[in-house]
Amino acid sequence: MKAIIPVAGVGSRLRPHTFSHPKVLLNVAGKPIIGHIMDKLIAAGIDEAIVIVGYLGDMVEEWLKKHYDIKFTFVNQPERLGLAHAIWMCRPHIKDDEPLLIILGDTIFEVDLLPVMTSTTSTLGVKEVDDPRRFGVAVTKGGNIQKLVEKPDTPVSNLAIVGLYFLRESGSLFKSIDHLIANEIKTKGEYQLTDALQLMIEGGEKFTVFPVHGWYDCGKPETLLSTNEILLQKGGSTKQYPGCIINEPVFIAPNASLENAIIGPNTTIGEHAVIADAIIKDSIIGNYAKVGHIMLDSSIVGNNAWISGNPHEINIGDYSEIRVR
Q: How many Å apart are CA 100 and CA 66, to the nearest integer?
A: 24
- At 322 the pLDDT is 62
Would you place residue 11 in the very low, low, confident or very high pLDDT band (cuts 50, 70, 90)? Answer: confident
Q: Which amino acid makes up residue 282?
A: D
Other beta carbons within 10 angstroms of residue 131's beta carbon come to 9
Q: How many Å apart are CA 255 and CA 283, to the nearest integer?
A: 18
Per-residue pLDDT at 262 exceeds 80? yes
Model confidence pLDDT, tens digit, residues 158-192: 888 888 999 988 889 999 999 999 999 988 888 99
Q: Which one is predicted more confidently, 78 or 225?
A: 225
Arithmetic mean of pLDDT over the chain: 87
Question: Which run of H or of E encompasses 221?
Answer: helix 221-233
Average pLDDT over residues 277-296: 92
Average pLDDT over residues 113-125: 88
Q: Which one is predicted more confidently, 272 or 234?
A: 272
Average pLDDT over residues 75-97: 89
- At 67 the pLDDT is 92
Per-residue pLDDT at 155 exceeds 60? yes
Q: Which amino acid makes up residue 19?
A: F
Between the alpha carbon of residue 43 and those of residues 37, 94, 111, 181, 227, the distances in Å are: 10, 22, 11, 35, 21
Domain ranges for the chain, please list them. 2-222, 237-323
Q: Which one is predicted more confidently, 249 or 311?
A: 249
Between the alpha carbon of residue 173 and those of residues 183, 200, 264, the distances in Å are: 16, 7, 46
The pTM of the full predicted model, rounded to 2 decimals, is 0.85
Average pLDDT over residues 232-237: 78
Model confidence pLDDT, tens digit, residues 18-69: 788 888 888 888 889 899 899 989 988 888 999 999 888 889 999 999 999 8
Q: What angle do CA 307, 310, 221 make, to 5 degrees?
A: 60
CATH superfamily of 237-323: Hexapeptide repeat proteins (2.160.10.10)
Average pLDDT over residues 219-245: 84
- At 321 the pLDDT is 54
Of 106, 87, 94, 107, nearest in space to 191 by CA: 87
The topology under which CATH files domain 2-222 is: Spore Coat Polysaccharide Biosynthesis Protein SpsA; Chain A (3.90.550)
Would you place residue 274 in the very low, low, confident or very high pLDDT band (cuts 50, 70, 90)? Answer: very high
